[in-house]
Structures are given as structure tokens and as C-alpha cells.
Amino acid sequence: MFVKSFLIAFALLLFAASGVQAQQDPLFTNYMFNNLYVTPAFAGVDGVTRLTAFYRNQWTGYQAFGGTGGAPITQMVSFNTPIYKTRGGFGAYVLNDDLGPLNNLEAQIMYAQHLGIKDNKLSIAVKLGAFSQSIDWSKYRPTQQNDPVLQDGIDSQVKPDLGFGLFYRSEKYYAGVGFNHLLKSQFDFGVNEVRNQLENHVNFTAGYFYEMSFDLNFQFSTLVKTDLNKTSVDLSALAFYKSKMWGGLGFRQSEAASVLLGYSFLKDRSLRFGYSMDYIVRAQDAKQPTSHEFMLSYELPINPGSGKKIVRTPRYRH
């Protein structure tokens, strides 16, 4: 019944897709390795402690207003771990999203409660944090000289932020949903004419694993992002060889096609590096054609005192 509800929600989001990319929240091409950002309910769900870092340079080389730059750049560092005593998980991340004259910085912590459903797992989580916006007035070019709305210098405001999420995992598939910015905090920087409100965002993700042979496995995944006004859909297919290297293709609805590559290092494959490149297929005149994204993650050794024996698999190391 739970899975059926997820599929219905997924179908509704696909139906609502408008083909326009909403950019209030940053996007990640390697979203299948960043489920903690998609939904806080992923915290600790795969039974390992993990540190992950992302760096994304979108529309590399983009220049605004006389060569002043302005290409979106996003950095994110996250941590998540299981809490066996409470059958839960803890997660946290810091994200910096530079959008030229506007900069978004958020710090979030989250707790997830894990419920066993036969051989599967349902996770329910809440996240709480702070969302900071900074605006550099000098990077705006007014159409009207001496515009009273434009100020001098850089202004910043910090507001509370709240989110909620669900994540369901079985041996061959997973599905999750995250609800962001439930407080709809508003930033005005002391100017009545400037009101930038955080809109409610819903992220839905799902994936399916197919084992072709002992050495070759596939993962098919999707991510649907919507602010209930505009919706974007990502689709991807990855092939994993000997749980050590991977490669695949992705497509972001009406925006870009992607190539994803990765490799696992160390004897236990606990250190992983991933790279993706997006090629813009729509509105190239307004953007630069390529975007680049890098991922580095490390899984800490299993704590023998946890009382749990964890078997590492490529399937749930995302």
C-alpha cells in the first residue's frame, strides 16, 4: 500500500511537469548519491557512517553584464550515520549556493526513525536548520538610475528552516520524498519592495536495481522536483562493474543530457570519486553549454561495538 501511494504521487508529479527548471534550490546531477539532500529520511538508512562533499559549476564560463561572471556554483558537505540504540539515524549538511548577486547558505541537521516492514525499511525524518541569504547590491545593473530599491554594499539575513521526509527501501528498489521550506521564510533586506520568500519544495526520488551478473549491476533512478508551480524531472541509468567503477547517462527534462562516471578506491572501496558533465540541449543562447560536478565520499570503518554486522554492498552505498 505504501509503495502504491508513492507510485501515485510520482505519476501526479510527472503529469504536472512544466518543463521549466526551478532554481530556488540547487540541483545535482549525481542526485542518486545525494539522497540525504533529497530527503532527510535517508539519514542512517544504509547502516554506514559517511562523509560526502559535492562541488558543482553550472554553465561553466557564463558571464553576466560585461564579463562580471555569475555562473551558479554550489558546494555541499554532508554527514550521516545510523543510531542503533534508537533504531534511527542522524544527518547534517552545510550547503553554499552562489548565484552571482545572491548567495544562499544553509545548515541543516536531521533525525530519522527507522521502522522495519518485513524485510524492508521505512524511515521517517524531520530536519531543522538555518537558511541565510546575502545580496550584493553592486552586482545589479539598474534600468533606472538612482533606483531607490538598490542599496549599497552587501546585506544578509538569517531565517529558520524546517523540512520533513519519508524513505522506503527494499532489496531491489527504493522510493523517497522530501518536503523543504515548510516555514516559507521571507527575506526583504529591509526594503519593502524586495520580498524573496522560500517556496515549499517537494522532492521525489525512486530507484530500481537490476543484477545482470555477479560483476555487472545496473541502477535506474529518477528525481522529480517541484515547488507546486514548476516541475523538473531527472532520469538516469548507471552500470556498476565489480562494485568498483561505474558509468552511465542522465537526462534532465527539457534542459540537459549528462554523462556520469565514478571509481571506488581502497581495499574496502570506502573512498569514492564521481564526476558528471551536463550538456545543455535547450536555450543555449542564454547559458554556457556545459556544467561540471564532482563528488567525493568516504565511509568510516564499521564500529565493532555497534553489535551489528554490516555487509557492504554496492546497492546501498549511495
Q: Is the dihedral of CA 276, 111, 298, 268 positive or negative?
A: negative
**Burial zone of 264 (CB within 10 Å; 0-12 exposed, 13-18 middle, 19+ buried):** buried
Half-sphere exposure of 248 (CA within 13 A, CB side): 23
Walk along the chain (318 residues) and give the pLDDT tens digit of each residue: 444 444 444 444 444 433 334 457 999 999 999 999 999 999 999 999 999 999 999 888 777 665 666 789 999 999 999 999 999 999 999 999 998 888 999 999 999 999 999 889 999 999 999 999 998 877 776 666 666 666 677 888 999 999 999 999 998 999 999 999 999 988 877 776 566 788 899 999 999 999 999 999 999 999 999 988 888 999 999 999 998 999 999 999 878 999 999 999 999 999 999 999 999 887 767 678 899 999 999 999 876 555 454 444 544 444
Read off the pTM. 0.84
Predicted local distance difference test score (pLDDT) of residue 113: 97
**Burial zone of 223 (CB within 10 Å; 0-12 exposed, 13-18 middle, 19+ buried):** buried
Per the CB < 8 A criterion, the answer to whether 277 and 43 are in contact is no
Cell of 215: 560483476
Number of H helices, E strands in the chain: 2, 16
Cα–Cα dist 246/55, whole Å: 19
Of 134, 137, 136, the residue nearest 157 (C-alpha): 134
Angstrom CA distances, 23 to 60, 74, 117, 230, stand at 16, 12, 36, 10
Pick the CATH number of 2-306 from 3.40.1670.10, 3.40.50.150, 2.40.160.40, 3.40.50.1980: 2.40.160.40
Predicted local distance difference test score (pLDDT) of residue 196: 77
- Coil, helix or strand at residue 19: coil
Per the CB < 8 A criterion, the answer to whether 112 and 40 are in contact is yes
Angle at CA 86, nearest 5°, toward 84 and 88? 75
